[in-house]
Amino acid sequence: MKISYHGHSVVKIETNGKTILIDPFINGNEQTDLKADDQNPDVILLTHGHNDHVGDTVDIAKRSGALVVAPFELANYMEMQGLNTHPMHIGGAYEFDFGKVKFTQAFHGSSFTTEDNQIIYTGMPAGILFMAEGKTVYHAGDTALFSDMKLIGDRHLIDLAFLPIGDNFTMGPEDAAYAAELLGAKQVVPIHYDTFPPIKQDPQKFISTLKEGQGKMMKAGDSTEL
């Protein structure tokens, strides 16, 4: 399984002959190395409806025919945009041909703001557990620290976790470090920082607070193998 990071909360997973994009915020994301027009994923996974996570989903999925997997209300909204969707919800898991997806809770908001400034409610936010090739990746989405992260870690042996550290809108570095401890993830990658002025952070400082060898710095375009 090849996993790459592409700035903000954008993660790409290549496994079982399929390409999966998580939260493909590309246009308007100065941190990314990707170009939206070049992306042809088989699957797009969404954690919640905020514009900096839904990003370019509609354009990419219409062009590529990608299946969009998201919490129920967000999936319904994406279907209304003409996309092929698979709705799920928190606590639910489904075995796809590319891997197993399970949505976890996250403490945040979830709404999409249209070009004419309508705010569309898109249900509850979520984190994602992705399982394939005997490995488990956890993408926490946007979330505050919550004690049931320990339950997630107890129930799932997490090989790689992507945790927001930006503060202001999500966990900050201190809470994210405690989250890493609760999850017991083998490796932790900081995400959701530096994209906007209120979430400016030092990722290396965050990594220095984790257990030796647990923190993994990934810049936009960096990849790793599990």
- 64-98 residue pLDDT tens: 999 999 999 999 999 999 999 999 999 999 999 99
According to the model, what pLDDT value does residue 142 have? 98
Helical segments of the chain, H only: 51-54, 57-64, 72-80, 149-155, 173-183, 203-208
In the prediction, which pLDDT does 129 show? 98
> Which pLDDT score is estimated for 13?
98
CB 183 within 8 A of CB 153: yes
Look at residue 139 in the predicted model and tell me its pLDDT: 98
At residue 220, the pLDDT reads: 98
pLDDT above 90: percentage of residues in the chain: 100
Is CATH 3.40.50.80 the right assignment for the domain spanning 2-209?
no
The pLDDT assigned to 107 comes to: 98
pTM flag (> 0.85): yes
CA distance 32 to 97: 28
Q: Which residues contact 64 (CB under 8 A, 6 or more apart)?
A: 39, 40, 41, 42
Q: What is the DSSP letter of 111?
A: E
Considering only CA atoms, which of 64, 55, 63 is closest in space to residue 18? 64
Average pLDDT over residues 188-208: 97
Main-chain phi, psi angles of 176, to 5 degrees: -65, -35
For range 131-149, the mean pLDDT: 98
Closest CA to 9 of 23, 26, 19: 23
For position 177, what pLDDT does the model report?
98
- Alpha-carbon gap, residue 34 to 196, rounded angstroms: 18
pLDDT digits (tens, 9 = 90+) for 111-135: 999 999 999 999 999 999 999 999 9
Tokens, residue 30: 């100065």
Task: Give every CB contact of residue 167 below 8 A, 6+ residues apart in sequence.
Answer: 173, 198, 199, 201
Residue 58 has φ and ψ, to the nearest 5°, of -60, -50
What's at 113, amino acid-wise? T
